[in-house]
Amino acid sequence: MAELKTQPHDGDVDAFLASVDNERRRRDAIAMREIMARLSRAEPRMWGPSIIGFGEYHYTNRSGKHVSWMRTGFAPRKQALTLYIMDGFDAYESLLARLGPHSTGKACLYIKDLSRIDQAVLEELITASLAHIDDRSEG
């Protein structure tokens, strides 16, 4: 199996955030950095060229390979602020119903405007996901 392409590195998080062209997306990304740092109790770190991750956990994938991955993270993409909720959304239907305008992928939460999201609900979702990941982590 190939090694994961997205790896943590020592890139400058502040410089990356300052380089985000879209003003609203940059503002939302700066706010999300503060939220995720506070909830995860981890410093932000670049994962690949465009993802800011917080913390790390370890697990064994389906093929038996030991993998390290971020506990949570986000990326300010052109279309939306993309949040990585590692355990997916099956357990969070009631939270998503109260969150505000968003869409989801398998483990991605897409938010076009953070000011339209219920921040308390968002923080509850991130906190629950972090707890789930911590329970799953192999150390």
DSSP, residue by residue, 13-59: HHHHHHT--SHHHHHHHHHHHHHHHHHHT--EEEETTTEEEE--EEE
Number of domains in the chain: 1
| Predicted pLDDT at 58 | 83
CATH number at residue 125: 3.90.1150.200
Regions of the chain short of the pLDDT cut 50: 1-2
| Predicted pLDDT at 38 | 98
Residue 2 counted as domain residue: no
| Predicted pLDDT at 57 | 86
| Predicted pLDDT at 139 | 60
How confident is the model over 5-39, as pLDDT tens digits? 667 788 999 999 999 999 999 999 999 999 999 99
Q: What is the span of the domain harbouring residue 58?
A: 8-136
| Predicted pLDDT at 2 | 46
